[in-house]
Amino acid sequence: MLRIKYRYLDLRNATLLRNLKLRDEITRTVRRVLHENSFTEVETPILTKSTPEGARDYLVPSRLNPEKFYALPQSPQLFKQILMVAGMDRYFQIVKCFRDEDLRQDRQPEFSQIDIEMSFIDEEELFQLVETMMAAIYKETMDITIETPIPILKYQDAIDRFGSDKPDLRFGMEIVDLTDTVAGTEFKVFADVLKKGGQIRALNARKSSELLSRKALDDLTDLAKTYGAKGMAWIKVNADGLQSPITKFFKKEMLDAMMSKLGAEVGDTLVFIADTPKVVADALAHLRLDIGKRLNLIDESKICLAWVTEFPLLEYDAEEKRYVAMHHPFTAPRAEDLDKMESDPGSLSARAYDLVLNGNEIAGGSIRIHQSDVQQKMFKLLGIDKEEAEAKFGFLLEALQYGAPPHGGIAFGLDRIAMILTGSASIRDVIAFPKTQKATCLMTEAPSEIDTKQLKELKLKFDLS
RNA sequence: GGGGUCGUAGUUCAGCUGGUUAGAACGCCGGCCUGUCACGCCGGAGGUCGCGAGUUCGAAUCUCGUCGGCCCCGCCA
């Protein structure tokens, strides 16, 4: 904690200085590549309007307009789309964004985005531009030539094979579906899940018998539980037979079928999760990563980039009892799905894409909706009625009516890219003055109390009850 | 909102079940050596063990509280 308080002293540390310099090289390269490709950097407002869909906003009270607030942007999304309407065909900006949510190793309340938007493009053109940019970044900062084009992975395949929409592709150990294989089992835990329409899936941790001790398996079980699993079944394939708390519940034929599907050999450890598809995917995704680390399967020198595409357009939010946009509400559905917007919204596929680097989401974007009527339908699907849509996004709907070119874009997490390229463990190591987990700045002691005069000017008072 | 973990020298950490002057490495200072390049050798300085209370003959160690850091779940369109 001393180190963050006296950040100016810690910054004398060679590693931090090197990180900041590498970060500078990244932004310099990005600006050069984008300028070479006819992009214009345009600044958008920091004091802007609250759009309370999504993350919590940081708010700024307005002195000249008592009881009204600006919001700090969560992203320049709407401004960049409107720039497209204005005919600024190739926009970019390296820009601060703000989200008032809890912090993580890779999450700060204010973070920097490389924000890009282009008119008259499709996914392919945008991917090419991004690949040029990523190749230049790696070449100029690390002198590494990356392979292009970057492979494309469909969202559903990513979930099925890795349990995650941001898989770490530096190692294998893919998920195996055993739901059909164990149909009719007497093992109550699996049978109950099957009855409720859940899944049984598993991983084969090859040659792990020595590293995955009983204690390690208990730790893995606890890990699975943090993602909602009730437990984790396991089988160790020893030279003298199977060691497992669950094999006794299975008939030999079924057990053989499971083993063969998993390609089990002596020395392997098999771990199973049975639950709803979401829990199975979450738990196995994290088990895969954890086991990968324990077994030292991850080649740190590898650079595995992948596009993840064909995300669902909407996700059903059980708590709010409505659909929410998986990416954001301005993302275009695929053209062939347009007629299903009313009949079967849950099945819609989005023209959205993420760029994943070694298991980290480093960028995300989409082809946007450029027709006012489609945008209005989208709001309707999200349970945003006409008045609310008008109040929050009226300026966008209106702008679209003036004729917007087809457009799309992407936003990169600059801090995350810098974190990965410098090999840092935390995003804080590539930010000159980062905030703590409670979103405070130990050096300046922000946030801080303000004096009564300031409150009065802003016509604010605290409810001290 | 919840769970976990940590707080000991400038830094990274060790200090087991409570027991005399709290240790190591690196760094720092002084000296010596030097064809060195993660130099080597000798010597030295440096610590309210986060804070407060309790248990005890005795607390870095146990208990409670408190402050803070970090990690995770939720959250992050």
Tell me the per-residue pLDDT of A211-227, one tens digit each, with 9 for 90 and over. 888 888 988 998 999 99
Helix-helix angle A155-162:A277-294, to 10 degrees: 60
Q: How far is the CA of A462 from the C1' of B54 (A)?
A: 38
What is the enclosing helix (H) or strand (E) of A343?
Answer: helix A340-343
CB A396 within 8 A of CB A388: no
Among the residue ranges A32-41, A78-87, A272-281, A332-341, the one predicted with the least confidence is A332-341
Among the residue ranges A39-48, A217-226, A270-279, A456-465, the one predicted with the least confidence is A456-465
State the residue for tokens 């699996």: A190
Task: Kindly tell me if the per-residue pLDDT of A464 is higher than 80.
Answer: no
The top-scoring range by mean pLDDT among A136-140, A289-293, A322-326 is A136-140
The two structure tokens encoding residue A336: 């062939």
What was the pLDDT predicted at A442?
A: 81
Task: Tell which strand B nucleotides have any atom below 7 Å from a protein Cβ.
Answer: 1, 10-12, 68-77
Look at chain A and count its residues.
Answer: 465
CB A202 within 8 A of CB A264: no
User: pLDDT for A112-133, tens place per residue?
Assistant: 999 999 999 999 999 999 999 9
Cβ within 7 Å of nucleic strand B, residues? A 1-4, 51, 53-56, 74-75, 77, 99, 101-107, 226-227, 282, 324-329, 426, 428, 436-438, 440, 442
DSSP symbol at A146: P
Question: Can you tell me the distance from the alpha carbon of A107 to that of A99, in angstroms, rounded to the nearest whole number?
Answer: 9
Question: Can you tell me the distance from the alpha carbon of A48 to that of A74, in angstroms, rounded to the nearest whole number?
Answer: 10
The two structure tokens encoding residue A464: 């001290």
List the strands of the sheet with A233-238, edge to edge: A176-177, A199-205, A269-275, A233-238, A241-243
What was the pLDDT predicted at A80?
A: 95
The two structure tokens encoding residue A132: 């040029």
User: pLDDT for A407-441, tens place per residue?
Assistant: 999 999 999 999 999 888 889 889 988 999 999 98
Q: How far is the CA of A155 from the C1' of B5 (A)?
A: 35
What was the pLDDT predicted at A276?
A: 95
Q: How far is the CA of A105 from the C1' of B73 (A)?
A: 14
The two structure tokens encoding residue A305: 């980039």
The two structure tokens encoding residue A416: 């995350």
Residue (of A275, A264, A260) closest to A235 by Cα position: A264
User: pLDDT for A372-398, tens place per residue?
Assistant: 999 999 999 988 888 888 888 888 899
What is the enclosing helix (H) or strand (E) of A128?
Answer: helix A123-142
State the residue for tokens 């595409």: A309
The two structure tokens encoding residue A340: 């299903």
Task: Kindly tell me if the per-residue pLDDT of A272 is higher than 80.
Answer: yes
What was the pLDDT predicted at A465?
A: 46
**pTM for the model:** 0.92
CB A163 within 8 A of CB A273: no
CB A200 within 8 A of CB A182: yes
DSSP symbol at A58: P
What was the pLDDT predicted at A2?
A: 56
DSSP symbol at A101: S
Q: Is the peptide bond before A109 cis (omega within 30 degrees of 0)?
A: no
Phi and psi at residue A351, to the nearest 5°: -85, 55
State the residue for tokens 């702008």: A399
Which of the four pLDDT bands, split at 50, 70 and 90, describes residue A9? low
| β strands within A368-456, DSSP E | 407-413
What is the enclosing helix (H) or strand (E) of A316?
Answer: strand A314-317
Residue (of A351, A341, A338) closest to A408 by Cα position: A351
Residue A269 sits at the vertex; the CA angle it makes with A264 and A270, to the nearest 5 degrees, is 70
DSSP one-letter string for A226-266: HTT-S--EEEEEETTEEE-SSGGGS-HHHHHHHHHHHT--T
CA dihedral sign, ordered A52, A56, A62, A67: positive
What integer best gives the mean pLDDT of chain A? 92
CB A171 within 8 A of CB A163: no
CA dihedral sign, ordered A96, A97, A98, A101: negative
ipTM of the shown complex: 0.86
Which of the four pLDDT bands, split at 50, 70 and 90, describes residue A13? low
User: pLDDT for A130-160, tens place per residue?
Assistant: 999 999 999 999 999 999 999 999 999 999 9
Which of the four pLDDT bands, split at 50, 70 and 90, describes residue A22? very high
Q: How far is the CA of A371 from the C1' of B26 (A)?
A: 63
Which of the four pLDDT bands, split at 50, 70 and 90, describes residue A289? very high
| β strands within A101-240, DSSP E | 110-119, 152-154, 176-177, 199-205, 233-238
Residue A289: what residue type? L
Which of the four pLDDT bands, split at 50, 70 and 90, describes residue A10? low
A78 nearest nt, CA–C1': B77
A9 nearest nt, CA–C1': B10
A74 nearest nt, CA–C1': B77
Q: Are strands A176-177 and A199-205 parallel, antiparallel or unpaired?
A: antiparallel
Which of the four pLDDT bands, split at 50, 70 and 90, describes residue A366? very high
DSSP symbol at A337: G
Between the alpha carbon of residue A175 and those of residues A20, A275, A286, A288, the distances in Å are 38, 14, 11, 8
A314 - beta bridge partners?
A325
Task: Kindly tell me if the per-residue pLDDT of A54 is higher than 90.
Answer: no
Q: How far is the CA of A223 from the C1' of B10 (A)?
A: 37
Q: Which residue has the higher pLDDT, A464 or A353?
A: A353
Q: How far is the CA of A190 from the C1' of B38 (A)?
A: 56
Q: Are strands A269-275 and A233-238 parallel, antiparallel or unpaired?
A: antiparallel
Between the alpha carbon of residue A394 and those of residues A52, A194, A333, A343, A457, the distances in Å are 14, 47, 21, 26, 31
The two structure tokens encoding residue A86: 């204005």
Q: How far is the CA of A9 from the C1' of B45 (A)?
A: 22
